[in-house]
Amino acid sequence: VTRDRAYRDSNGDEGFSAIVLGTGNADADHARYVDAGISAGDMLGFSRAFTDPAGKSDIASFKLAFAAGAKATDAFLFACERVNAPDVDRAALQAHANGATGIVEILAVSDAPGKQHELISISVDNPAAERQGGMFSLPNADLSVLDRAAFTARFGLPAGAPTDLRFAAVVFSVRNANVTSRLLAANSIQHD
């Protein structure tokens, strides 16, 4: 929460300060982060009640392990282990009026992309990822780190202020781009 507040104070309310990485062992991730010198603090464990639309209840429990670069104050990553995943119907939570069906790519900008590769490859537990030229293939999406000029060239949008690492965009897959575009426009949401 403190890191997100620092991001908001520096960058405003738009954007995102972190990405979450699914894991089966947050304890091992935390140990790896500590050993590599990228731990962003103590682990966090928590539980909360969950009730599906039909009224079925259960307790959801999680463990989180945090990673950040020493100079990457605009971004961090965290591993999330579902300790207890409720056996409830999640279909209503996964249906989106905008037609989104998944995340294709997460994009980060950096004034020195190569210096962020070690942080990310350790965070995603894939040492070979460091050699893939700034793109990290994750189980359900790609994570790309671009310099500001490459980001602007790709999207035709300003990349923002200088940064060691900042998450800048998410590319979603949708069922129908026209339906999604109309919904976003009707709600005055900028999109490309």
Q: Using CA atoms, how far apart are residues 117 and 145, in angstroms rounded to an integer?
A: 8
* 3-state DSSP assignment of residue 191: coil
Q: What is the pLDDT of residue 3?
A: 85
Q: Return the domain boundaries, the chain.
A: 2-87, 93-186
DSSP string, 33-100: HHHHT-B-S--EEEEEEEE-TT--EEEEEEEEEEE--SS-TT-EEEEEEEEE---S--HHHH--TT-E
Predicted TM-score of the model (pTM): 0.86
Q: How confident is the model at residue 129 (pLDDT cuts 50, 70, 90)?
A: low
Average predicted confidence (pLDDT) for the chain: 89
What pLDDT is stored for residue 66 in this prediction?
A: 96
Report residue 34 as tokens. Answer: 């500590």
Percent of the chain with pLDDT over 70: 96
Q: Note the pLDDT of residue 132.
A: 63
Average pLDDT over residues 28-48: 95
